[in-house]
Structure 1
Amino acid sequence: MTRPITLPFYAKLSFILVTLICFAFIFCIGKDILTPILMAFLFAVLLLPIFNFLKTKLKFPRHLAAIVCLAIFISIVVGILVFISYQVTYMANDFETIKKNANSFIVEIHKFIRENFQVSIGEQKKYLDSVTKDSVKTGQAKLGSFIISISDVLLDSTIMIIYTFLFLIYKEHFKLFFAKLIKQENHGILQDILSQIKVSINNYIVSLIIEMIVVSVLTSLGLWIIGVKYFVLLGLITGILNLIPYIGIFIAGIITVLASLTGSGEISVILGILIVNIIVQFIDNNLLVPLIINSKVEINAFVSIMGIIVGGAAAGIAGMFLAIPLLAILKIIFDRIDSLSPWGYLMGNHVPRKFAWRKRKITTDN
């Protein structure tokens, strides 16, 4: 019987860090391939309860159950996009009103700057003209890349649908593959890891959907109170964009301010929109995220923020969205492997007890 090899701490730490760096490097250079796969994996886990219900309870064939799951998912997404498109088209009818109110709002801003910063309106317009010329040139240069990016999004969406279908029908095949990788006596740990990953990711995505709905309802209610037109559409857009960490809420705020110009260009309305967004974000960050999101994934705020920043730098918005689920998967794996359990504890949000250091008397020989 061969004895297990015992490595010193620095060797274990080096192996772990090198492994993590290799995974991060592979993800960075292959993000265009790996991002759709990982997104499809999340969608497959989300649809897995429906898939199992259709296959076990209703006795659907495996392929038919996967097709029905995807049809339901695509129908919901397309329904939301059609509603937004219809509302945006309806809003376009107020373009002249938006233009008129935007001009009056800009005039008010010019007056405010002239009275408080002693910059004449002529100097402000001259500066804006120079900035506008540069923006037009930049916009013309980026128009082609924008069209290419739209086609990339459509292609990635199609690939994600195909990957999701394959994940659903080959679920048991992948489980057997992982079982063949490890020894039989560790199959119980593997089963525990896979079941916890499924539960954690499913809870996380459902929690994001609940958060999106609550933010949409609160924003719509606030905009309705202050008298903003298209408050339902703007609330829904805010809830969807809020899923994008950091930058989503700012984009939603800009869209809401522009849309408010369909009613009036008064500064009080714009201030009301800012106040509504601040209040909703306060509720979201201090109540919804701790109670709904963090309680499901059990990742502390420090690791979450670092993961989101690294994910955004590696793969943009998709990387920011994937950061928390990937961290949750890593924590589940770390917690169930003895040598990696300290790293799992570091990533968690456990309230630490007071640690008593063992004191040892240091003696010196003269």
Structure 2
Amino acid sequence: MLKVVGNWYQRKFSDPNALMLLLLIIISALVLYALGGILMPVLVAIVIAYLLDVPVSKLETYGVGRGLATSFVLIVFFFICFIAAVSLLPIISKQSVNLMKEVPNIWQSAQDWLAALPEKYPNTIEVSYIKSMMSGVNEKILEFGETVVSLSVSSLGTLAAILIYMILVPLMVFFMIKDKSIFVASFSLILPRERRLITQVGEEMNTQIANYIRGKVIEIIIVGAVSSIAFSLLQLKFAILLGVLVGFSVLIPYIGAAVVTIPVAVVGLFQFGMTAEFGWLMFVYLVIQALDGNLLVPLLFSEAVSLHPLYIIVAVLLFGGLWGFWGVFFAIPLATLVKALITAWSPNVAHKVSEA
């Protein structure tokens, strides 16, 4: 067994470049795992910096200084964010409160429907089974309500965190974009001399992450806006809230679309019943999901490395479990990183790199 492990190690890591790449990955993973919560504002700033680096670079090509271009792009970006927040947050907040008020009525209607099933199908469904199921669901609802109350009590800490983000993140984004070349040069000085594989994987991942962040933000905006407009035209209750949920559901490939279908279908069924309006709602929703998956995603992520859906789902579960929201957000780039590492450590690639 030890001989097999030794042969595998010799085959994969005999090249110092491969060993340095492995050490860098291990150290980076340990730092993120141990200090991820503390470094979260830094990660948020990096995401925004990736998003805004392209317009800053475009302004530079027209002769605008990088500092001035960075300031202008940041002002426009945060102004748009402020306008969007002022416009949407009151509506979303109001609809969220109204939805919470409607939940007891929705659940009561569901209980009435379930209670009528034994009368309609006496030979198939037992009354005791329905009662035990409703009792279990009621307990879960009470537990959820207690959780919501406890979260609202701790909202002061959340408010403090928001204030920190509002002050620190814009400053970090400004310096990350303005002094990008300085930070890249400083990071290069830290890296070991045997870094050909690190450079190879780093260049590939830099492009992948930048394309992914920009594409994902555009996808969220388009899907959320189209869903909100479509739900509003169909006169669905809580249209903006549900549209925003559909937009953010694209953060979690496959799983997000399946999960967000539940509130859309429940609200539509409670409002319209089993009518043509409900059928049109689900048809429009499925069309939006189909256009997103088959048209929008290929257009936005045409340069991304294709990954099998199973690998994407496993990556979402794994990295989401490790790092929460940001693990889910970066699940596809991280899965692409794993694929790039496997390619870099393959014997053929390592042999070609060693000859370069």
DSSP 3-state at the match of 2:64 = coil
Match of 2:209 among 201, 206, 214: 201
Match for residue 296 of structure 1?
Answer: 303
| Counterpart position of 1:148 | 157
Q: How do 1:1-366 residues align onto structure 2 when only pairs under 5 Å count?
A: 8-9=10-11, 11-12=13-14, 15=19, 20-55=25-60, 57=62, 59-60=64-65, 62=67, 64-88=68-92, 91=95, 98=102, 102=106, 103-104=108-109, 106-112=111-117, 115-116=120-121, 117-119=125-127, 130-145=139-154, 148-149=157-158, 151-152=160-161, 154-156=163-165, 158-180=167-189, 198-216=206-224, 219-220=227-228, 223=231, 226-229=234-237, 231=239, 234-245=242-253, 248-249=256-257, 252-257=260-265, 260=268, 264=271, 266-268=273-275, 273-274=281-282, 276-293=284-301, 295-301=302-308, 302-328=310-336, 341=349
The change in CA–CA distance for 1:175 and 1:42 in structure 2 (over 3 A counts) is same
Q: Deviations over 1:303-347 (max 9, x none)?
A: 4444333221111011111233345567668878997947xxxxx
**TM-score (normalizing by structure 1):** 0.68
* Equivalent residues, number: 332
- 2 CA distance for matches of 1:318 and 1:210? 17
1:164-203 Cα offsets, whole Å, 9 max, x none, are: 122112211023224545799999x95x877655543332
Opposite residue 273 of structure 2, the aligned amino acid is: E
Letter in 1 for 2:80: I
Code of the aligned partner of 2:289: Q
Is the Cα–Cα contact under 8 Å of residues 28 and 315 in structure 1 kept in the other structure? yes
Query: Are 1:311 and 1:320, in contact at CA under 8 Å, matched by a contact in 2?
Result: yes
Amino acid in structure 2 at the alignment position of 1:296: E
The CA deviation at 1:49 is 2.5
C-alpha distance in 2 between matches for 1:272 and 1:126: 33
The RMSD of aligned alpha carbons is 4.5
Three-state SS of the structure 1 residue aligned to 2:271 is coil
1:351 matched to which residue of 2?
Answer: none
User: Could you say if the C-alpha distance between residues 126 and 50 of structure 1 is closer, same or farther in structure 2, counting changes exceeding 3 Å?
Assistant: closer
CA distance in 2, matches of 1:82, 1:113: 49
Contact 1:98-1:259 within 8 A present in 2 as well: no
Taking the aligned partners of 2:241 and 2:187, their CA distance within structure 1 comes to 45
Distance 1:19 1:175 in 2: 16
Equivalent residue letter for 1:242: V
Gaps of 5+ in 1: 1-6, 343-366
Deviates more, 1:206-215 or 1:93-102: 93-102
TM-score, reference length from structure 2: 0.70
| SS across alignment from 2:127 | coil
Unaligned segments of structure 2, at least 5 residues = 1-8, 351-356
Is this contact kept in 1: 2:252–2:316, CA < 8 A?
no
- Cα distance change of structure 1 residues 203 and 22 upon mapping to structure 2, 3 Å threshold: closer
- How many Å separate the matches in 1 of 2:24 and 2:101? 58
8 A contact 1:213–1:239 mirrored in 2: yes
In 2, are the aligned partners of 1:334 and 1:341 still within 8 Å (CA)? no
CA 31–96 in structure 1, closer or farther in 2 if over 3 Å, else same: closer
2:253/2:312 contact within 8 Å kept: no
Give the distance between the partners of 2:116 and 2:292, measured in 1 at CA: 36
Q: How big is the shift at 1:45?
A: 2.2
Pair member with larger Rg: 1
Q: Is the 8 A contact 1:105 1:266 kept in 2?
A: no
User: For residues 190 and 27 of structure 2, what CA distance do their matches in structure 1 show?
Assistant: 20
Identity of aligned residues (%): 23
For residue 277 of structure 1, report the CA deviation from its aligned partner. 4.2
Cα distance in structure 2, aligned partners of 1:147 and 1:258:
33
Distance 1:255 1:58 in 2: 50
Change (3 A) 1:162 1:337: farther
